Chain A
Amino acid sequence: MHRRTEALYALGFLAPYLSVLGVFFLYAFLRTVYFSFTQYDLFHAPEWVGFQNYAALFREDLFLRALRNTLFYSFFVTVVQTFLALVLAAILNTKIRGVTFFRTVYYLPSILSSAAATLIFIWVFQRRGFLNYALGWLEAHAPILLTFLGLFLLFQLVQVAWERRLGLPVHLFDPALATASLVLALALTWFLVALGVLAPREGIEVKTVWLNTRREWLGVPIPLWSIIIMNIYTTIPTFMLIFLAGLQDIPKTIYEAAAIDGATPVQQFFKITVPLLRPVIFLVVTMSLIGTLQLFDQVALIGNAAPLESTITLAYYVYNSVFPSGATPKVGFGAGAALVLALLTLAVVLLQRRFGISERGY
């Protein structure tokens, strides 16, 4: 086929995509850059103001709040969910029957729409919602639970000491002995409760306000913590699946060799799994950072159930500047903030390109 004919065919194939990409991405991107240098309210013609928007943005409290919230949220959620997803994947990677069933079950929360999932969680976080009830139950039953835990450890230690004296190479958390300790501890705790020696504490009610509060914990607003919990919960399964795919490429023989050399599962996890999965971990971290930087839906759905400045993120700031309720749109501000968001995302991607791609675990 002639070169030019082929190029023309290519143009034919690409035409729909190129027009959408051109109008709704390239043109839109350039216009956002332009808007960020103007004063614009969606109705009157934009007015060029140079760098004023940016100067004003970095002096505005709400924007700095949004920036701080976004950065902390993104960093914290990425670290925690990557770690937890990896641990979960390592557990699920075991060769046992019915593992596919668990994979399916674990994956379920992450296919749900953020709207539906967030509504469920807003209910969980109500003052009289399920979370406070569960915390109250735990607090009331703390004596029983602690007794049980103490008994379990006690039985375990006694058994391990006994077996070691017999010359058996048992590990501190030997699974067989732990099962025995578990059964014994359960039975004894149940017995103590039946005798009335142990009883749940009365009159305990947890009334933590999770959403509509200005209180902070570790310098981070409580409502933001609520969003962090909910998002870690819904995103873990997706990443877990990616890790699982990566784990299946690691030869089983490495683990077997390590086990023969006496490496515990925890040692195997940190000394084999983590280093060998480094490329996948980099990928997941990048995806997570990009995703979390754009946090919007949860903030919008929580809406006025929480103070704006404690949940606001960059993405929501952009939306709120363009469509503020009952005020004049400040498109210039929104566009400026949007570009800050884009720059952050780009920085993440460039960092990954710099460090992630060339890394090969083995």
Chain B
Amino acid sequence: MTAPSQVDPVFLARRRWARVGWIYGTLLFIGTLFIGTLYVAFITSLKDDPLEQPFRFLFPQLSPRNWAAAWQLGQAGARDPWLGGFAPGAEVPFTVTYFVPEGREAIPPEVRIPRRKPGAGLGAVREGPYAADYAEVSPVEEVARRPGTYRGQAGTFVRYRFTVRYVGDGPRIERLPADLEVPRGQRFVEATLAPNRIERRGRVASWDNLTPGFLGYVFHNYVRVFREARSLSTGESLFWRWTLNSFYIAFFTVIGNLLFGSMAGYALARLRFPGRHALFLFMLFSMMVPFQVIFISNYLVLRDGIFGLTRLFGLETLLNHPWGVIVPGIVGSSSVFIMKQFFESIPKEIEEAALIDGATPFQTFFRVVLPISTPALGALTILTFQGSWNSFFWPLVVLTSPQDVFTLPVGLLAFRQAYGVAGDWGLILAGAFLSMIPIVVLFVVFQRYFVEGVSFSGLKG
């Protein structure tokens, strides 16, 4: 091989640049694989038919024209451009264009406001007021006509207009579904808002909601997540309840792990007591044992209210109670471990000064050590929050009924069981993405801590 000094410098530079290019290319490719899956799942959560084949990357919910139309129709229907609806005083103008092939007579479409339930699964159970009982459709009038060709066929484009009014006074209704039917031969071309489905060989164009509002159109599955699943006892949104439960549990788990974890970690790192080494080894052992090994007894302990102790707080049992999830995880061995490692890394002199001044270990710990431990506490907060927010197994064991007590991951399983069979994946995916928001926000803000958390837990093996 030729020695590098003899090689043309341009050749070497060219090679270096090209290598950088290939590295970026590879990085982009792998990144596309990772994020691409999330992206296709995300746009699918906006679709009407999440299992459509072939898969479309562009569809009505992604078109700005429909966004604007949905906004205006929501305004017309309920003076709510975001979520739309159908409220007293509504006057919804709508135009639709059909193609009539040559030799056929143009017949205006027949407009119907059907009594349609808002979907499969949990939503099918709920009985609400129907727009059909309050809506009045004006006669369909022709506004324009022009000759042209459509898919290679000569004929006429006919444009119609009609108005849907809310008659009299009544409740505000969430949705205004509509079906437009034309005789065979005529074809639907376009409308103020793109329809959700074209059925019966193109004869029926069907809208789930003529007055959706921006969010109600683009994020209709997300709106359904909140609207459809409702508590049987209180009627409030289950998904909202689950989110609150998850936050409640995560909050107290984090507080417990920060406080008790750092206390125990400090004792293990700094104080001398008999059995210290044995306790440390036992702690490592407890970190390795799978959760499934200890859950049977823990379940029974919680069922009996921790040896009856919870009766002091008026609770017979901790099953189906958020504290049943919190208590066994209120101080985890890994939190103690992380804090112990951290305390061992800070210089002893800081505390010794306080101890010589006559402060007790408690005072030293709370006044001197904890205030300088913010980096470790920050990493531990993120790690614990993430663990608690994402945890699935233990909440699944403890929280079984009613659905009001679920956490988000358990609730997602309930969604999957209720909607999966019907193939209503839009709503399931929407729920999954909604449940990710807090973690993703945390990740974006505290990225550094996440990465540190990994290297912390990397120490534990």
- Chain A positions within 8 Å of B, measured between CB atoms, are 1, 3, 6-7, 9-14, 16-18, 20-21, 23-25, 27-29, 31-32, 35, 42, 88, 91-92, 94, 96, 99, 102-109, 111-117, 119-120, 122-124, 126, 128-130, 133, 136, 167-169, 174-179, 205, 233, 237-238, 241-242, 245, 260, 262, 283, 286-287, 290, 293-294, 296-297, 300-301, 303, 305, 314-315, 318-319, 322-323, 331, 334-335, 338-339, 341-342, 345-346, 349, 352, 356
Contact = CB atoms under 8 A, between A and B. Distances in A.
Given A10-B267, A42-B300, A286-B461, 8 more contacts: A13-B266, A91-B27, A96-B24, A105-B31, A107-B450, A133-B53, A242-B454, A338-B290
B146 interface: no
B313 interface: no
Nearest to B386: A111
A21 B336 CA distance: 11
Contact of B23 (A31, A94, A233, A305): A94
Interface in B195-234: none
Contacts of B286: 21, 25
Contacts of B420: 122, 305
B333 interface: yes
B450 A111 contact: yes
B450 A294 contact: no
B432 A115 contact: yes
B34 A105 contact: yes
B435 A116 contact: yes
B17 A176 contact: yes
Contacts of B259: 16
A271 B291 CA distance: 39
29 contacts: A1-B355, A6-B361, A13-B266, A14-B264, A16-B263, A17-B264, A20-B327, A23-B301, A24-B298, A102-B27, A107-B443, A108-B34, A113-B436, A115-B392, A115-B409, A115-B435, A120-B37, A128-B51, A130-B40, A241-B451, A262-B1, A290-B288, A297-B393, A297-B409, A300-B396, A318-B292, A322-B295, A345-B290, A349-B288
B302 to A, nearest CB: 9
A176 B264 contact: no
B314 interface: no
A78 B156 CA distance: 64
A94 B54 CA distance: 39
A169 B435 CA distance: 55
A113 B19 contact: no
Contacts of A108: 34-35, 38, 440, 443
A305 B417 CA distance: 10
A234 to B, nearest CB: 9
B18 interface: yes
Contacts of A352: 461
B327 to A, nearest CB: 8
Contacts of B301: 23-24, 27-28
A32 B299 CA distance: 12
Contacts of B413: 115, 300-301, 303
B245 interface: no
A205 B53 contact: yes
A113 B440 CA distance: 11
A7 B443 CA distance: 40
B361 A179 contact: no
B50 A123 contact: yes
Interface in B354-393: 355, 360-362, 365, 386, 389-390, 392-393
B334 to A, nearest CB: 12
B294 A32 contact: yes
A260 B452 CA distance: 35
B419 to A, nearest CB: 10
B235 to A, nearest CB: 25
B412 interface: yes
B306 interface: yes
Contacts of B433: 116
Interface centre among B263, B292, B336 (most CB of A within 10 A): B292
Contact of A6 (B271, B296, B392): B271
A117 B15 CA distance: 40
A241 B454 CA distance: 8
Nearest to A344: B290
A130 B44 contact: yes
B382 to A, nearest CB: 10
A355 to B, nearest CB: 12
Interface string B445-461: 00100110011001001
A287 B461 contact: yes
A7 B276 CA distance: 10
B4 interface: yes
B351 to A, nearest CB: 12
Interface centre among A21, A107, A114, A290 (most CB of B within 10 A): A21
Given A10-B267, A262-B1, A113 B37 contact: no
Interface string B79-94: 0000000000000000
B306 A23 contact: yes
A6 B271 CA distance: 7
B260 interface: yes
B261 interface: yes
Interface string B1-40: 1101001100100110111111110110011001101101
Nearest to A279: B461
Given A120-B41, A305-B420, A341 B450 contact: no
Contacts of A303: 413, 416-417
Interface centre among A28, A88, A233, A342 (most CB of B within 10 A): A28
B360 A9 contact: yes
A339 B279 CA distance: 22
Contacts of B295: 28, 318-319, 322
Nearest to A323: B397
A124 B45 CA distance: 12
B70 interface: no
B428 interface: yes
A162 to B, nearest CB: 13
B272 A3 contact: yes
B345 interface: no
B312 interface: no
Nearest to B412: A115
A126 B425 contact: yes
A80 to B, nearest CB: 15
B361 A102 contact: no
B461 A345 contact: no
A129 B49 CA distance: 11
Interface string B271-307: 1111010010011001011111111111111000010
Interface centre among A14, A88, A238 (most CB of B within 10 A): A14
A81 to B, nearest CB: 13
A179 B22 contact: yes
A176 B18 CA distance: 5
Contacts of B20: 96
